[in-house]
Amino acid sequence: MPRSKWQNEQARDARRVKIRASALRQFALKGLGAARIQDIAAEIGMAQGLLYHYYPSKEALYLDLAQGALDKTIETVEAVQGMRGKAHDKLLYLMRILTGTIEQDESYAQTLCLLSQSTAPLKLSDEDRNFLEEKRLFPYHVLAELFHEGQSEGSVEDGEPMDFSLLFWSLVTGLALHRTTYETPFPMPDHRILATMFLKNPAARS
């Protein structure tokens, strides 16, 4: 009995999910330059030609993954920024959920590794590069605003807010890299250890 249109759509969606998951692992572990479409196809038992039906190039696959990852990151930091309460508590909460998610969700750790990589090996258009760069910088600016707000409250250490933001995201990415690349990674450090680098008396309201 032939499959219905709905069944065909479900099968296509399922294949796309497998492609994205395999590509994310390959990109995160091997890097954008070394990861190959044929390896992604082989990992999920799919003909390379069929994979190209979904994504005509490695660049197209990367753009799909990167934009989805950036949208998720932006949604997370905007949600935290929009929470009621003081910047101290928002920052502490963000640190807790990020370290917890890195530890519990392998794909999220891989996503952070993907976003940290240079796109130089890819043949992206200037428009795509500029678009991605703008989205990549957005979470840095949101976090810098939170650090600035916390300094006004007196709960964040003195310093340039954007410097704090850069350091924060670098630390988070480093934790994700450790989680992704080590066969037996160490447990994630308590988020309050991270908080001591930025917040005054972070344990007071944790």
What CATH number does residue 122 fall under?
A: 1.10.357.10
Give the tens place of pLDDT for each residue, 136-169.
Answer: 999 999 999 999 999 999 999 999 999 999 999 9
Domain-embedded: residue 51: no
Mean pLDDT of 12-28: 93
User: pLDDT confidence of 9, banded at 50, 70, 90?
Assistant: confident
Mean pLDDT of 51-72: 94
Domain-embedded: residue 39: no
User: How many folded domains does the chain comprise?
Assistant: 1
Domain-embedded: residue 54: no
Mean pLDDT of the chain: 91
Mean pLDDT of 96-120: 93
pTM: 0.88
Q: Which domain holds residue 196?
A: 63-205
What was the pLDDT predicted at 12?
Answer: 86
Mean pLDDT of 121-141: 94
Give the DSSP per-residue string, the chain: -PPPHHHHHHHHHHHHHHHHHHHHHHHHHH-TTT--HHHHHHHTT--HHHHHHH-SSHHHHHHHHHHHHHHHHHHHHHHHHTSSS-HHHHHHHHHHHHHHHHHH-HHHHHHHHHHHS--TTS---HHHHHHHHHHHHHHHHHHHHHHHHHHHHT-B-SS-HHHHHHHHHHHHHHHHHHHHH-SSPPPPPPHHHHHTTTBSSGGGG-
